[in-house]
A and B are shown apart, each in its own frame.
Chain A
Amino acid sequence: MNLFARTGKWASLLLAAVVTLVPLVVVLFAAFKTHAEYNATGPLTPPRDWLNLANFRTAWTDGDMLRGFWNTTVILVISLIGTVAVGTLAAYAVSRFTFRLKRLVLGLFLVAALVPGVTTQVATYQIVKSMGLVNTLGSAIVLFLGTDIVSIYIFVQFMQSIPRSLDEAAVIDGASRFTVYRRIVLPLMRPAIATVVIIKGIAIYNEFYIPFLYLRSSDLNVISTALFRFKGPYGAQWETIAACTMIVILPTVVIFLMLQRFIYNGITTGATK
Chain B
Amino acid sequence: MTSVEYRAGAAVSASPPATGSAAGRPRTGWWRRWAHWLYLAPALALLITFTYVPVGNMIWYSFQRWDGLSPTMTFVGMDNYGRVFSDEDYWRVFLVSLYYFVASFAQIAIALYFAVLLSFQTRLRNLFKGILFFPYLLNGVAVGFVFLYLFQPDGTLDTVLRLVGLGEHTRYWLGDAEVANFSLAGTSVWRFTGLSFVLFLGAIQSIPTELYEAAEIDGAGRWQQFRFIIAPGIRRIISLSFILAISGSLAVFEIPFIMTGGANGTRTFVIRAYETAFQFRQIGLASAMAVVLLLLVLVITWVQRRLVPDDEVTLS
B161 to chain A, nearest CB (A): 12
Please encode chain B, from 47 to 73, with 1 for each CB lying within 8 Å of some chain A CB and 0 for all others: 101111111011001000000100000
B237 engages A123 (CB within 8 Å): no
A177 to B34, CA, bound (A): 13
CB distance from B193 to the nearest CB of A (A): 9
* A26-B150 CB under 8 A given contacts A122-B58, A206-B140: yes
Which residues in chain A, 65-96, are within 8 Å of chain B measured between CB atoms? 85-87, 89-90, 92-95
- Surface stretch bound by B, among A48-56, A188-196, A265-273: A265-273
Given A23-B190, A252-B138 in contact, is the A97-B9 Cβ separation under 8 Å? Answer: yes
Of B90-98, B100-108, B126-134, B167-175, the one touching chain A? B126-134
Provide the residues of chain A in CB contact with B47, threshold 8 Å. 108-109, 112, 146-147
- A residues within 8 Å of B by Cβ? 1, 9, 12-13, 16-17, 19-24, 26-27, 30, 42-44, 85-87, 89-90, 92-95, 97-100, 102-103, 105-106, 108-110, 112, 114-116, 118-127, 142-143, 145-147, 152-153, 156, 167-168, 171-172, 176-177, 181, 202, 205-206, 208-209, 213, 223-225, 227-228, 230-231, 238, 241-242, 245, 248-249, 252, 255-256, 260, 263-264, 267-268, 271-273
Q: Which residues on B sit within 8 Å (CB–CB) of A108?
A: 44, 47, 52
A242-B149 in contact (CB<8A):
yes
Q: In chain B between 284 and 299, which residues have their CB closer than 8 angstroms to a CB of chain A? A: 286-287, 289-290, 293-294, 297-298
Smallest Cβ-Cβ distance to A99: which chain B residue: B9
Q: What A residues does B134 contact at CB under 8 A?
A: 20, 256
Assess the B54–A120 pair: CB atoms within 8 A: yes
Residue among A89, A224, A231 making CB contact with B39, cutoff 8 Å: A89
Number of interface residues of B (CB under 8 A): 91
Q: Is the CB of A123 within 8 A of B46?
A: no
State how many angstroms separate the Cβ of A15 from the closest Cβ of chain B.
Answer: 11
Considering the chains assembled together, what is the distance between the CA atoms of A89 and B37 in angstroms? 10
CB pair B113–A12 under 8 Å, yes or no, is yes
Known: A30-B149, A92-B39, A93-B40. A116 touches B297 (CB 8 A): yes
- Kindly name the residue among B49, B57, B113, B142 whose own CB sees the greatest number of chain A CB atoms within 10 A: B142
| A271→B313 CA distance, assembly (Å) | 13
Total inter-chain residue pairs, C-beta < 8 Å? 260
Let me know if A119 and B293 touch, CB within 8 A.
yes
In the complex, whether B251 has a CB less than 8 A from a CB of chain A is yes
| 24 A–B contacts from the bound complex (CB under 8 Å) | A1-B222, A12-B113, A12-B117, A21-B131, A23-B147, A43-B149, A92-B39, A103-B316, A109-B43, A112-B47, A114-B247, A119-B251, A119-B270, A119-B293, A120-B51, A120-B58, A123-B55, A123-B61, A123-B290, A206-B137, A227-B141, A231-B145, A238-B149, A249-B139
A64 to chain B, nearest CB (A): 15
A residues in contact with B251, CB < 8 Å: 116, 118-119
Cα distance, A125 to B39, chains bound together (Å):
27
- Is B198 a contact of A268 with CB atoms below 8 Å? yes
Is B139 within 8 A of A224, CB to CB? yes
- Chain A residue nearest to B194 in the complex (CB): A20
Contact of B313 among A43, A110, A124, A268 (CB under 8 A): A110
Q: Mark B274-316, 1 if CB is under 8 A from A, else 0.
A: 1001100001001101100110011001000000000001011
Q: Mark B183-223, 1 if CB is under 8 A from A, else 0.
A: 00000001000010011001100000000000000000010
Which residues of the other chain, B, contact A85 by a CB distance below 8 angstroms? 42
Residues of chain B at the chain A interface (Cβ within 8 Å): 1, 3, 6-10, 25, 35-37, 39-40, 42-44, 46-47, 49-55, 57-58, 61, 68, 110, 113-114, 117, 122, 128, 130-135, 137-142, 145-147, 149-150, 152, 155-156, 159-160, 163, 190, 195, 198-199, 202-203, 222, 237, 240, 247, 250-251, 253-254, 258, 270, 273-274, 277-278, 283, 286-287, 289-290, 293-294, 297-298, 301, 313, 315-316
A272 to B145, CA, bound (A): 30
Question: A13, A85, A106, A260 — which one has the most chain B CB atoms within 10 A of its CB?
Answer: A13
Inter-subunit contact B159/A42 (CB<8 Å): yes
Minimum CB distance partner of B39 in chain A:
A93
A271/B254 contact (C-beta < 8 A), A122-B286, A145-B46 known = no
- Among B46, B54, B253, contact of A209 (Cβ-Cβ < 8 Å): B253
**A177 close to B141 (CB less than 8 A):** no
Residue in A closest to B113 when the chains form the complex, CB atoms: A12
How long is the Cα–Cα vector from A88 to B155 in the complex, in angstroms? 49
Which A residue sits closest to B2, measured CB to CB? A172
Evaluate contact between B40 and A120: CB separation under 8 angstroms. no
Cβ contact within 8 Å between B50 and A146: yes
If A20-B131, A224-B141 touch, whether A152 touches B253 (CB-CB below 8 Å) is: no
Q: Closest B-chain residue to A147, C-beta based?
A: B43
Q: Which of A1, A26, A238 has the most CB of B within 10 A?
A: A26
**Nearest CB on B from A162, distance (A):** 15
Known contacts A110-B313, A146-B51, A209-B253: A93-B36 contact under CB 8 Å: yes
B9 touches A272 (CB 8 A): no
Interface pair B114/A26, CB less than 8 Å apart? no
Q: A114-B297, A156-B316, A260-B130 are in contact. List 6 more A-B contacts (CB 8 A).
A: A87-B43, A98-B9, A116-B250, A126-B68, A231-B145, A242-B145
